[in-house]
Structure 1
């Protein structure tokens, strides 16, 4: 690998199968056809992706939940059971902190390995944002809090942000995801300009990019732009990124 960027593989779940994300257009997602994984079974795909990337984290987007349906608790439980060394980042359309705690309760035996992803697309209000990351807001350093990340979502140059997350820099937590949805599954290259702006505003945060990676060269450019990690899926399934060996 030409950069030290941490790769976080992504599994997009729809009705119990892994699907391929296409520019954030969830209605167009279809069961994955992959040169890396000859299956759309979530456990099979997750194992192969994590092994290929030597990953410590796995990002799971539950498209059923993101579109207003029930969270696929059974699938998430299976993944947590079969990947005991992996931390799961769960993107399930959480509207507020209470929804996050309810999900933790449902997955209680595995709570220490869960990072809740609160997306600006889904958070219902500024108050909800404040409650999700209270320690970040009040400057309480060193206080343990449930692991969580804020995803700053945008599509086609427009912020998806009813809660005003993008402008509430003082409320941002330690983990930030820069999610440029039209780049996801597009092969259009990473959105480095937006990532650099977030890095400038949050110099001490862990900043994770999402979407557009096509090659090792893109990963090197992303690292140079200030990314600590990148969410990847299509480039792995299409064999555009070699196996990581640690």
Structure 2
């Protein structure tokens, strides 16, 4: 089971995500480092997980504002070996390309996250995920409801090789992982590499997620709270 640390970015700071209620997010308080500077938090999380991969949710962009280009650029510059998964509310492939162009050097290390809550059409799903090994699709849901105007959940034939199963109400909620939804998605596309998101509390949850078929899991709160021990190769 791979751990992929998550940094949630809002107004230039790393914030604590709780149940997908983005209006209430506060600057993160972490046992891993002091303060909420994004570069410091990103480094500490990746060092703790022995990870060269980091997932960032740009909440300014996801809530209709401008992408935090300078923050994303700073993280890339500070961590030259990082594989940077970025969700900035991309409605289509062109939006993702524009962000890469604005970031400039280092943007080739960005893995674009196309999220079902943001994609505008089934046609854009097909275009964005045409390079099946290069992109990642996030299947988003909250409180039992799919966030999916484009119909991504019902089009497994269009999914890329990696798919995130994102249960927003479990993010930061100390509620345990949503393994039932993970298994449902796996049944639709058994060959797809699944990455879970939300709910991990401790090592036993990670073991259960691996048994349920998860290849990796996105984690933040359990890291900041010191509930997962440091990983070392």
CA distance in 2, matches of 1:88, 1:135: 17
Q: Does 1:52 align with 2:72?
A: no
Deviation at 1:135, TM superposition (A): 4.3
Matches within 5 A, 1:61-210: 61-136=57-132, 147-210=134-197
Normalised to the residue count of structure 2, the TM-score between the two structures is 0.97
Cα deviations across residues 112-144 of structure 1 (Å, max 9, x unaligned)?
3110001000001111111111245xxxxxxxx
* Residue 25 of structure 1: aligned partner: 21
* Residue 43 of structure 1: aligned partner: 39
* Alignment coverage as a number of residue pairs: 233
Aligned Cα RMSD in Å?
1.1
In the TM superposition, structure 1's runs of 4+ consecutive aligned residues that sit over 2 Å from their partners are none
Could you tell me which runs of 5 or more consecutive residues in structure 2 were left unpaired when the two chains were aligned: none
Partner of 1:212, secondary structure, is coil
CA distance in 2, matches of 1:85, 1:20: 25
Partner of 1:109, secondary structure, is coil
Partner of 1:134, secondary structure, is coil
Could you tell me which runs of 5 or more consecutive residues in structure 1 were left unpaired when the two chains were aligned: 137-144
Normalised to the residue count of structure 1, the TM-score between the two structures is 0.92
Deviation at 1:110, TM superposition (A): 1.5
